[in-house]
Amino acid sequence: MDKEQRIVLTGFMGVGKSTVARFLASLLKCERIDLDTFIEQSEKKTIAEIFKTEGEARYRQIETENLRRILSNGNARIIALGGGAWTIAENRRLIKERNFTTVWLESSFEHCWRNIRLSKRERPLAKNKQHASQLFDERVRFYCLADWHFIIKPDLTSFEIAKKIAEEVFSMKFD
């Protein structure tokens, strides 16, 4: 196993980045950080509240500030990004500068949308299916820039996806 390898997980809302990151960290026995949770704790507001009171442009600045803090201070080897973070050039630059490998959890829009509908989390950019679908299409060209692409088949559990990443990216062996 490559002890130095550190990864960020990217992909559209609802693809399962946070859950996969949790399983992966437990398989690798390492620290992980969820960027959205980190932002909510450091800002003492939910992401939905930040969007409502300060707007998306300010949210993106806050997101970049927090990502920078995590990348420079944290010991985390696994970071789950929010769905928009990787689409921002400055964030991609910071991630590469810190030598993180980026893994895109790639799936269909319908799969993400189903999970978004089932989730209790309020997602300001996924209130409307048509808008979310357009965002999905616009973002594919950024997600494509990730180092690894993992196709998420709907029948795979988050644990199975984490295991596949551990095997392929971290060269771990399971019986």
One character per residue 85-124, x = contact with ligand S3P (rule: CB under 6 A) = --------------------------------------xx
Given a contact cutoff of 8 angstroms between Cβ atoms, the answer to whether 39 and 51 are in contact is: no
How many residues touch ligand S3P under the rule CB under 6 A: the total is: 10
Helix (H, G, I), strand (E, B) or coil at 103: strand
Given a contact cutoff of 8 angstroms between Cβ atoms, the answer to whether 47 and 124 are in contact is: yes
User: Where are any strands of DSSP class E within the chain?
Assistant: 7-10, 32-34, 78-80, 101-106, 148-151
Comparing CB distances to ligand S3P, the nearer of 66 and 100 is 66
Given a contact cutoff of 8 angstroms between Cβ atoms, the answer to whether 158 and 16 are in contact is: yes
Among 9, 13, 161, 165, binds ligand S3P (CB under 6 A): 13
In angstroms, rounded to a whole number, what is the distance separating the alpha carbons of residues 16 and 25?
Answer: 14
DSSP assignment of 37-87, as one string?
Answer: HHHHHHHTS-HHHHHHHHHHHHHHHHHHHHHHHHHHH---SEEEPPTTGGG
Does residue number 74 form part of the binding site for ligand S3P (CB under 6 A)? no
One character per residue 121-140, x = contact with ligand S3P (rule: CB under 6 A) = --xxx---------------
Sign of the torsion angle spanned by Cα atoms 120, 125, 127, 132: negative
In whole angstroms, the minimum distance from the beta carbon of 4 to ligand S3P comes to 26
Residue nearest to ligand S3P (CB): 82
User: What is the CA 72 to chain-centroid distance, rounded?
Assistant: 18
Does residue number 47 form part of the binding site for ligand S3P (CB under 6 A)? yes
Among 21, 23, 83, 100, binds ligand S3P (CB under 6 A): 83
Among 66, 82, 86, 113, binds ligand S3P (CB under 6 A): 82
Comparing CB distances to ligand S3P, the nearer of 36 and 106 is 36
Binding site for ligand S3P (CB under 6 A): 13, 17, 36, 47, 82-84, 123-125
